[in-house]
Amino acid sequence: MASTVTPSKDSPAPSSRPGYGQLLRTRGAWTFLLPGFAARQPFAMLTISIVLLVQHTTGSYGVAGAAAAVTGVSMALFAPYSGRLADRFGQRAVLIPGVLVHTLSGLTLTALALADAPLWALFAAAVPTGASVPQIGPMVRARWGVRLKDSPLMTTAAAFESVTDELTFVVGPLLATALCTAVNPAAGLVTEASLTLVGGLLFAAQKGTQPAVAAGGHARVQPVSALRVPGVRVLIVAFLGIGSVFGGMQVSLAAFTESIGEPGLNGVLYGTFAAGNMLSGIACGAIAWKAAPQQRLVVGYAALALATSGLWAAHSVLLLAGLGLLVGMCIAPALITGYTLVEGLVPAGARTEAFTWLTGAVALGQAGAVTVAGQLEDRFWNGAGFLVPLGGTALALATLVALRSQLTARSHSRTVARGVGHRTPVAVD
């Protein structure tokens, strides 16, 4: 059905082909993009910083992976509630106490690891560290929703945010590894805590761009739990598979570079993997897709499962770098398409929560992968941990194939998707 859409006063004038340049000219965008980038950087540093620090103090990748996994599980469990509270009371009200708790907890975890504290003490500090991770990515996505209401640029924003996420996974692991190996094993976590404090508070200070809440602390659109949407549950399982790639790659690449006596190459190899992710994300945002997003998601996961199938057999730096680049290039299309589907599946009042469920699913998958990959590396051959990304993506693909019908937006979803219908594909994804 044809309809006339009136753009938001904050969004740029429509054009025949929405693009990144037009998106970045959106009024007020840079006020939350710059502090948001600084505040989300620590998320990419946290897991690898914990792994490198705890492995240094205990000598075990299994123990290091378990400590990092507790952090990831805690984040996955608490992130959706953080998103729900942000929908209801405002992002600033959730961010400020969360940033302070995370900084204190992260520094406590660092001190305990350096003091050779028992494993239970590390776990006790890891729980609040993970639970209080600021959900900057979902909050930025929600702010784009305010700026771009009723605009076709929303799909461009989804691609841009995925590219930004991947850029953090280029810079973050490189920075954390360099700090932990060249400065001090604790330097990665200390820097992570510092960036969280400064970036999080600066982002929280941008009150003018956060989604509005009504008087009395209730959102103008009464939120419905995102978990009640079947498609969101399917995407959560799919994003667990993506998390398994991140976690499995982090531990297995660290173990591989240590086994060849070049631990400093870990950041380079992981950065290559993340760079492939970022570059393919940029390309995805510039392509006028004709295939339906549900179909693209299944194809994307099939390509990801195929790409991960050769990691375990790679025994040279160049081959592993090439395969890592290929795996990274297969991740961004799946992430971008998944986040784009949320716009059509979930009512506006529950989208921050929905985005945090997906972010939490990545963290949970990463936590499980870190644990399993660490055990495989300790108990079996070098490279056994690379079986984890293959297993995780294969299970996610099977779920998508079986339940792909749940990813089609129902008529009630289209009526609340900021006025944008989903029967006709938009030009940019």
Residue-wise pLDDT tens digits, 18-59: 577 778 888 878 888 888 888 887 777 888 899 889 988 888
Which portions of the chain are predicted below pLDDT 70? Answer: 1-18, 150, 152, 155, 166, 170, 213-224, 226-227, 263-264, 285-289, 314, 346-351, 409-429
pLDDT of residue 295: 78
The CATH number assigned to the domain holding 250 equals 1.20.1250.20
Residue 102 lies in a domain: yes
pLDDT of residue 128: 92
Find the helix packing angle between 387-403 and 293-308, rounded to 10°.
160
Residue 355 lies in a domain: yes
Residue 423 lies in a domain: no
pLDDT of residue 205: 86
Q: Which helix (H) or strand (E) holds 214?
A: strand 213-214
pLDDT of residue 6: 42
SS3 181: helix
Closest CA to 141 of 126, 169, 160: 160
Residue 350 lies in a domain: yes
Neighbours of 58 (CB within 10 A): 17
Residue-wise pLDDT tens digits, 283-325: 776 666 677 777 788 888 998 888 888 887 767 778 888 888 8
pLDDT of residue 325: 86
Residue 14 lies in a domain: no
pLDDT of residue 175: 85
Residue 11 lies in a domain: no
Residue 16 lies in a domain: no
pLDDT of residue 272: 80
pLDDT of residue 107: 94
pLDDT of residue 287: 66
Assess contact for 204 and 91: CB atoms under 8 A: yes
Name residue, tokens 């700090």: 179
SS (H, E, C) 282-328: HHHHCCCCCCCHHHHHHHHHHHHHHHHCCHHHCCCHHHHHHHHHHHH
- The tally of domains found in the chain comes to 1
Neighbours of 4 (CB within 10 A): 5
Closest CA to 420 of 116, 205, 156, 212: 156
Pairing verdict, β 213-214 and 218-219:
antiparallel
The sign of the CA dihedral 224, 215, 86, 151 is positive
Residue 426 lies in a domain: no
Range of the domain at 100: 29-415
Q: How far apart are CA 298 and CA 295, in angstroms?
A: 5
